[in-house]
Amino acid sequence: MIDAVVIGSGPNGLSAAIALAQAGCKVVVFEAEPTIGGGVRSAELTVPGFVHDICSAVHPFAIASPFWRTLPLAASGLEWIEPPVMLGHPFDDGTAIEVERSLNVTAARLGRDGDAYLNTIGTVVKHWPRIERAVLGPFSVPEHPLPLARFGLQALRSAEGLARSAFKNERTRAMFGGIAAHGLMPLDRALTAGIGLTLGAMCHVRGWPIPRGGSQQITNALTRHLQSLGGEVIADARVTNIDNLPPAKAILCDLSPKPLLQIAGHKFPRSYREKLERYRYGIGVFKVDWALTAPIPWRAGECRRAGTVHLGGTMNEIAASEKATWEGRIVDRPFVLLSQPTLFDPSRAPVGKHVAWAYCHVPRASTVNMLDRIERQIERFAPGFRDCVLARSVLAPADIETHNANLVGGDIAAGVTDLRQFFTRPTWRNYSTPVKGLYICSASTPPGVGVHGMCGYHAATLALKQMFRT
Ligand SMILES: Cc1cc2nc3c(=O)[nH]c(=O)nc-3n(C[C@H](O)[C@H](O)[C@H](O)COP(=O)(O)OP(=O)(O)OC[C@H]3O[C@@H](n4cnc5c(N)ncnc54)[C@H](O)[C@@H]3O)c2cc1C
């Protein structure tokens, strides 16, 4: 007899299953794809022997996840690698800003912006233990209202507004803008400062690490732990209608609204169905993976020690790129996010060889090939990059959606994370639905995008309370 079914084996699906299994439930996870992990998988996308991350690559929220911190994932094979520099942000003059794990070292390198860095990102770092629950959970009565109110006032601002008022140097503003641009929104929008502050603080709270062997190792560790609790994961088992599932007290869907409606829409009252239909997906991404014969020849030495490199030059350029993309235009110089894991984890490529991972934002469902534009951005800061390329793999928005039905139009956040949709993901009900025992546990619920498993954990906690009275 099954107690609970989870549809989808992304990090949130697996986390929901683990939380349910920990409470003694018999859980089965059905995964549509032949491989487990959703947005947390690795594969030899280019040449045999080169292990690429298909989706997530850098994992600040995974190492900091309040739920995963309680799990024996190291014993299940997960090993974190912390690059010496979390983030490199190069400029056209051949120099770069580097963000290190140490808050004080990073601030000291920012010259006259050092104090402002400590007052903004540093304050979030200092108060993180008190605001973590509010940032990584559903809306609730705050335990520590004062630090949260202070964070909230800054977080609600736009990244451009905060950067221009807090920092004096264009370089610091650009670095902050690059971090905030992870939010897939124009940087003049409310709440984009919050993305920059939170993600920036993570550099110093637990770092921006990579898992040894690639992101698949996170999935493997979660799956092993689930299995040790008696849970089961069945791959290549797409659910096409929830009526066909084996009987269970609770069904948790690691799905965004569109695929959820496809399999369960007929169960919902019209008003709820319409709310899900109105859920807004955001811009997409165009992703490239490279097999390389040598490390990327960055002009700025700092970037050779960085796990992640942001390519966009100035704040103005990054802001213009994000705004144009949001408005449906293709830019010639897109903001590019790049990860270079083999500098720190040689196990992922043959001796002396490397892999690199990068993407830029594009209008939703765009069909424009961005490969040349992305490579030109890399060449701009690392002349000779193209000479190192052995092979490439390209994922356009349509490929991303094909590969994972949650990511409509290539939107890797499974829905816009703006003020309107932040607390009411995907509706004001968050995890629950009007159907008793049916829950949503994907990144389309709070706290949203990222590899942390907290959406799954919160959905499972609610299901346990309502359906299993634990
Ligand atoms: C290109 C890219 C880069 C990213 N980079 C990062 C990063 O560096 N760091 C970071 O923290 N996050 C990153 N993310 C985001 C992160 O991957 C997601 O936020 C996260 O995976 C969401 O987890 P989830 O469990 O909600 O859903 P998903 O990981 O999307 O998993 C959902 C699962 O449900 C399955 N499914 C769908 N429909 C069905 C069905 N009908 N039946 C059965 N199974 C079904 C899917 O196949 C999938 O396995 C990236 C995402 C992408 C796409």
Mind giving me the DSSP string for 362-420?
A: ESTT-----HHHHHHHHHHHSTTGGGGEEEEEEE-HHHHHHH-TTSGGG-TTSS--SHH
Ligand 1 pocket residue status of 58, Cβ below 6 Å = yes
Ligand 1 pocket residue status of 220, Cβ below 6 Å = no
Minimal-distance CA residue to ligand 1 atom 1: 55
Ligand 1 pocket residue status of 254, Cβ below 6 Å = yes
Based on C-alpha coordinates, what's the Rg of the chain?
Answer: 21
CA angle (318 as vertex; 307, 425 as ends), nearest 5: 80
Whole-angstrom distance, CA of residue 381 vs CA of residue 92: 7
Q: Residue 206 has which token pair?
A: 């637990």
Write the DSSP assignment of 197-266 as a string of letters: HHHHHHHHHT---EETT-THHHHHHHHHHHHHTT-EEESS---S-GGGSPP-SEEEE---HHHHHHHHGG
- Point out which residues pair with 359 in neighbouring strands: 287, 337
Ligand 1 pocket residue status of 12, Cβ below 6 Å = yes
Ligand 1 pocket residue status of 276, Cβ below 6 Å = no
Q: What confidence score (pLDDT) does residue 375 get?
A: 98
Question: φ and ψ at 31, to 5 degrees?
Answer: -115, 130
Question: φ and ψ at 325, to 5 degrees?
Answer: -60, -45
The SS3 assignment for 66 reads coil
Residue listed under structure tokens 């949650």: 406
Q: Which of 407, 428, 429 is nearest to 8 (CA)?
A: 407
Whole-angstrom distance, CA of residue 427 vs CA of residue 134: 18
For residue 359, the ligand 1 atom closest to its alpha carbon is 1
Query: With contact defined as beta carbons under 8 Å apart, do 284 and 366 qualify?
Result: yes
Q: What confidence score (pLDDT) does residue 26 get?
A: 98
For residue 456, the ligand 1 atom closest to its alpha carbon is 25
For ligand 1, the distance from its centroid to the CA atom of residue 39, given in whole angstroms, is 3
Q: Which of 442, 454, 443 is nearest to 6 (CA)?
A: 442
Question: Which residues lie below 8 Å from residue 430, measured CB to CB, with a gap of 6+?
Answer: 138, 424, 440, 445, 446, 458
For the chain, give the mean pLDDT. 96
Ligand 1 pocket residue status of 412, Cβ below 6 Å = yes
Minimal-distance CA residue to ligand 1 atom 18: 450
Mutate which of 393, 412, 417, 455 for ligand 1? The one with the most ligand atoms within 8 Å of its CB, which is 412
Q: What confidence score (pLDDT) does residue 1 get?
A: 86
For residue 8, the ligand 1 atom closest to its alpha carbon is 34
For ligand 1, the distance from its centroid to the CA atom of residue 401, given in whole angstroms, is 10
Whole-angstrom distance, CA of residue 187 vs CA of residue 316: 10
Fill in the DSSP letter of residue 14.
H
Minimal-distance CA residue to ligand 1 atom 35: 8
Q: What confidence score (pLDDT) does residue 423 get?
A: 83
Question: pTM for the full model?
Answer: 0.97
Query: With contact defined as beta carbons under 8 Å apart, do 286 and 374 qualify?
Result: yes
Amino acid identity of 115?
D
Whole-angstrom distance, CA of residue 345 vs CA of residue 118: 31
Q: What confidence score (pLDDT) does residue 173 get?
A: 98
CA atoms within 13 A on the CB side of 253: 31
Query: With contact defined as beta carbons under 8 Å apart, do 448 and 259 qualify?
Result: no
Q: What confidence score (pLDDT) does residue 151 get?
A: 83
Mutate which of 400, 449, 455 for ligand 1? The one with the most ligand atoms within 8 Å of its CB, which is 449
Ligand 1 pocket residue status of 11, Cβ below 6 Å = yes
For ligand 1, the distance from its centroid to the CA atom of residue 339, given in whole angstroms, is 18
- Length of the chain in residues, anyone? 470
Ligand 1 pocket residue status of 9, Cβ below 6 Å = yes
Query: With contact defined as beta carbons under 8 Å apart, do 227 and 27 qualify?
Result: no
Whole-angstrom distance, CA of residue 464 vs CA of residue 470: 5
Whole-angstrom distance, CA of residue 226 vs CA of residue 233: 9
Query: With contact defined as beta carbons under 8 Å apart, do 59 and 175 qualify?
Result: no
Ligand 1 pocket residue status of 32, Cβ below 6 Å = yes
Q: Are strands 80-81 and 354-362 parallel, antiparallel or unpaired?
A: unpaired
For residue 15, the ligand 1 atom closest to its alpha carbon is 25
pLDDT digits (tens, 9 = 90+) for 376-421: 999 999 999 999 999 999 999 999 999 899 999 999 999 998 988 9
Q: What confidence score (pLDDT) does residue 133 get?
A: 82
For residue 58, the ligand 1 atom closest to its alpha carbon is 8
Write the DSSP assignment of 444-467 as a string of letters: TSTT-SSSS-HHHHHHHHHHHHHH
Minimal-distance CA residue to ligand 1 atom 7: 56
Q: Residue 212 has which token pair?
A: 């040894």
Minimal-distance CA residue to ligand 1 atom 48: 38
For residue 451, the ligand 1 atom closest to its alpha carbon is 11
Whole-angstrom distance, CA of residue 293 vs CA of residue 277: 47
Minimal-distance CA residue to ligand 1 atom 14: 56
Write the DSSP assignment of 151-190 as a string of letters: HHHHHTS-HHHHHHHH--SHHHHHHHHHHHGGGSS-TTST
Q: Which regions of the chain are under pLDDT 50? A: none
Query: With contact defined as beta carbons under 8 Å apart, do 13 and 456 qualify?
Result: yes
Q: Which of 187, 253, 299, 188 is nearest to 432 (CA)?
A: 253
Q: Counting runs of H as helices and runs of E as strands, what totals does the chain give?
A: 17, 16
Query: With contact defined as beta carbons under 8 Å apart, do 334 and 363 qualify?
Result: no
Residue listed under structure tokens 């670095």: 175
